[in-house]
Amino acid sequence: MKISSPVLSLLLLYCTSAVAAPNSAISVAQRIARLEAGVRSVEAIRSIKRLQYAYGHYAEFGLWNDLADLFADNGIGHYPSGDLGKEAIHKLFLQDVGKGKLGLGEGQFYPHIMLEPVVTLAQDGKTAKGRWRVLAMLGSYGGTAVWAGGIYENEYILENGVWKIHDLHYYSRYTGRYDQAGWTADKEAIPIHYDPARAGTPVPEKPNLPAAAESSPSLEMLSKRVADLAQRAQRLNDEDDVENLQHIYGYYVDRKMWDDVADLFAGDATMELGLQGVYVGKFSIRRALN
């Protein structure tokens, strides 16, 4: 979601014109409050997605302390062994997967790939729900190898200014062993926290706004708020641009569009390919891609 810089610039002009018009200044403050709510909502959606991606990342690398810390103080995880609180979740992964140690055992793999998020923010901006598809590959070198796929229907809460998992519920859809033919499918009904219309509107159209101040805000206060919003909006847009750049890189590599791949690099960029070496500069990178 891009946040228009011209909108922020226009608000700054409103602030300037409001210096001699108190009522106008109050109107500008209300406009800024609405824009702040919008930016705050976008930031919340981003934070929740990063939170769930972190869950998969920490599981893959056996960072059980970090994984448990993603849950709220009264958070619950619904696992095959039962409904567990934060400490019990830590104990479960540490003992059952980590065998009493942080990290994974030698040759063990445990990736959890999170896909197709649908996150919807509540009206108050302090709670949210999210639906994810997950693909997991579980096993160990020379041992078992299992594919597993399912759905997460989770709830999230803003706790002390940080988004946390409040309720994690995994619904298995299928499992299959690499050394056996066929799949085992699960037919349990999965709840959906949204309808098709709501899926395309992750942020409330009319978020809750703080009560309007009775006194007219100063031009300096309004200018500071707009400058802060401009910086936060630019940060969100920059994040979009970086992610799009990386997605484009993957597409070009997949299509073997080597000239286009090389053009994505800065003039003094470096590229390291495993144990093949480090290539410096666009020309060297283009030659390596051959």
pLDDT in tens, 32-63: 888 888 899 999 999 999 999 999 999 999 99
Block residue for tokens 């960029």? 269
Identify whether 88 is part of a domain: yes
Identify whether 79 is part of a domain: yes
Identify whether 39 is part of a domain: yes
So what's the pLDDT on residue 157?
A: 98
Identify whether 230 is part of a domain: no
Same domain, 277 and 175: no
So what's the pLDDT on residue 274?
A: 82
So what's the pLDDT on residue 45?
A: 95
Whether the CB-CB separation of 57 and 114 falls below 8 Å is answered with no
So what's the pLDDT on residue 18?
A: 47
Identify whether 261 is part of a domain: yes
- Could you tell me whether strands 127-140 and 145-159 are parallel, antiparallel, or unpaired per DSSP bridges? antiparallel
So what's the pLDDT on residue 2?
A: 58
Measured between alpha carbons, how far is 96 from 139 in angstroms, rounded to an integer? Answer: 13
Same domain, 132 and 265: no
Same domain, 283 and 188: no
So what's the pLDDT on residue 128?
A: 96
Measured between alpha carbons, how far is 164 from 156 in angstroms, rounded to an integer? Answer: 6
Whether the CB-CB separation of 146 and 139 falls below 8 Å is answered with yes
Same domain, 207 and 272: no
> What is the CA angle 256-261-262, rounded to 5?
130
So what's the pLDDT on residue 20?
A: 46
**pLDDT < 50 positions in the chain:** 18-20
Q: Which residues contact 237 (CB under 8 A, 6 or more apart)?
A: 2, 3
Same domain, 205 and 269: no
Same domain, 161 and 272: no
So what's the pLDDT on residue 105?
A: 86
Same domain, 204 and 267: no
Same domain, 29 and 173: yes
The 3-state DSSP class for residue 283 equals: helix
Instruction: State both tokens at 236.
Output: 């969100």
Paired residues of 145 in beta bridges: 139
Same domain, 104 and 160: yes
Phi, psi of 255 (to 5 degrees): -90, 0
Looking at the 3D structure of the chain, how many domains does it have? 2
CATH code for the domain in which residue 104 is found: 3.10.450.50
Each residue of 178-193: pLDDT tens digit?
888 878 888 888 889 9
Measured between alpha carbons, how far is 167 from 157 in angstroms, rounded to an integer? Answer: 9
Same domain, 171 and 263: no
Q: What is the DSSP letter of 20?
A: G
Q: Structural domain of residue 82, as residue ranges?
A: 5-211
Identify whether 142 is part of a domain: yes
Same domain, 136 and 275: no
Same domain, 282 and 161: no
Identify whether 148 is part of a domain: yes
Measured between alpha carbons, how far is 267 from 225 in angstroms, rounded to an integer? Answer: 37
